[in-house]
Amino acid sequence: MAPNPSASARQPLKILMLHGYTQSGPLFHAKSRALVKHIQKAFPLHEVSAIYPTGPLRLKPSDIPGYEPSEGGEPEDEIEAYGWFRRSNTANPPLYQGLEDGLAAVAKVLSEEGPFDGVIGFSQGAAMVGMVAGLLESERKEAFAKFEKDESEGAPGIPFPASFAGSGFQHPPFKFAIAYSGFRSPGARYRGFYESPPVQTPVLHVLGSLDAVVEESRSRALIEACAGEPEKDGLVVWHPGGHFLPSQRPYLDAAVRFIREQLEKSSGGKKPDEEEDVNDMDVPF
C-alpha cells in the first residue's frame, strides 16, 4: 500500500472563517469544529487549514442584545465579545458603523495569510462573506463608482473600501463561500457589494427554519443578490433549528459536497481529491 502523502506534499486548501456578532475567532473555532473536521476528513489529499481572525470592534455588555443595566450603574466590565461592525438604526436606511475597520481587518488577513480558497461565515460573519466575496470580483470597483453617484434610492452608495483598493492588495476571487444565517447589508448605500453585477462567487446559503435572530427576508435578500438562481441550483439549505451552525451529518455533507463541486469547477473538471469511502457517507441507497 502506498504511504499517505505527507503534509508538505499535499495541496493546500485554505479557508477563512468569519465569526458572528458577540463572538471571537477562538469561540467560532470551537463552534465550527465539527464542520472543519468533516472537511478535513473529506479531503485527505489536501492540507486543510482554517484561519479564524477576530473582528476589530470590542463590544461592551450594553452592545449585547437583551442587555439590561444594573441598578447601581456600575462601570461595565470588558467581555470577550467582538464584531465586524455595529448597526445604527438612528440612520435611515440603517448604517453599519465601523464597517471600514471590519473590512480592513479582513483585507489584512487576506494579504498576510492568503491566498484563501474559500470563506465560511456565521451571522454577521456571513454578511461579511457576501461583502468580501463581492469585493474580490473583477467588476466590483465599477459597481461602487456607479452607485456612489446615484441618490435615486435616498442615499448615495459608499465608495469602494480603501483597504481593498490599494496597489499593494492582491487576492483572487474565492472559489467558494458558505453563509450560515447570512443577510444582505440594508439600504441603498451598500448596493455596490451586490448589484451591477450580482455576486458571482458561488455561495451556499445554510439557514435555520427556527432562526429568530435573522429574519428570513434579510437572508433571502442576500440569496437574491447572488448570480443565477441559487434555490433552483440547490444552493439554499434549510435545517430544522435556530441561529447556529448545524452539526448533523446531512448538513456537514452538504458543505463538503458544495466545496468539492466548486474546487472541481475551478480545476477544469478534475476531481480535487479522492472520494471518501461510500460507507462513511449518508447515501440514499
Q: Which three cell numbers stand for residue 282?
A: 449518508
The CA-CA-CA angle for residues 245, 251, 253, to 5°, reads 130
Half-sphere exposure of 136 (CA within 13 A, CB side): 27
Q: How far apart are CA 106 and CA 167, in angstroms?
A: 16
Catalytic residue chosen out of the listed positions 38, 117, 211, 266: 211
211 annotated active-site = yes
Q: Which H or E run contains 140?
A: helix 140-148
Q: Is position 266 annotated as part of the catalytic site?
A: no
Judge whether 46 counts as a catalytic residue: no
Q: Which of 111, 171, 243, 247 is catalytic?
A: 243
How wide is the angle at C-alpha 135 spanned by C-alphas 221 and 157, nearest 5°?
65
* Catalytic-role residue among 123, 163, 181, 219: 123
Q: How far is CA 271 from CA 47, 255, 260, 261, 283, in A?
A: 16, 16, 8, 8, 19
Q: Which of 214, 221, 213 is nearest to 184 (CA)?
A: 221
Q: What are the backbone angles phi and psi of residue 30, rounded to the nearest 5°?
A: -65, -40
Which residue's C-alpha cell is 473582528?
55
Instruction: Show Cβ contacts of residue 140 under 8 Å, excluding neighbours closer than 6 positions.
Output: 134, 160, 192, 193
Active-site residue numbers? 123, 211, 243
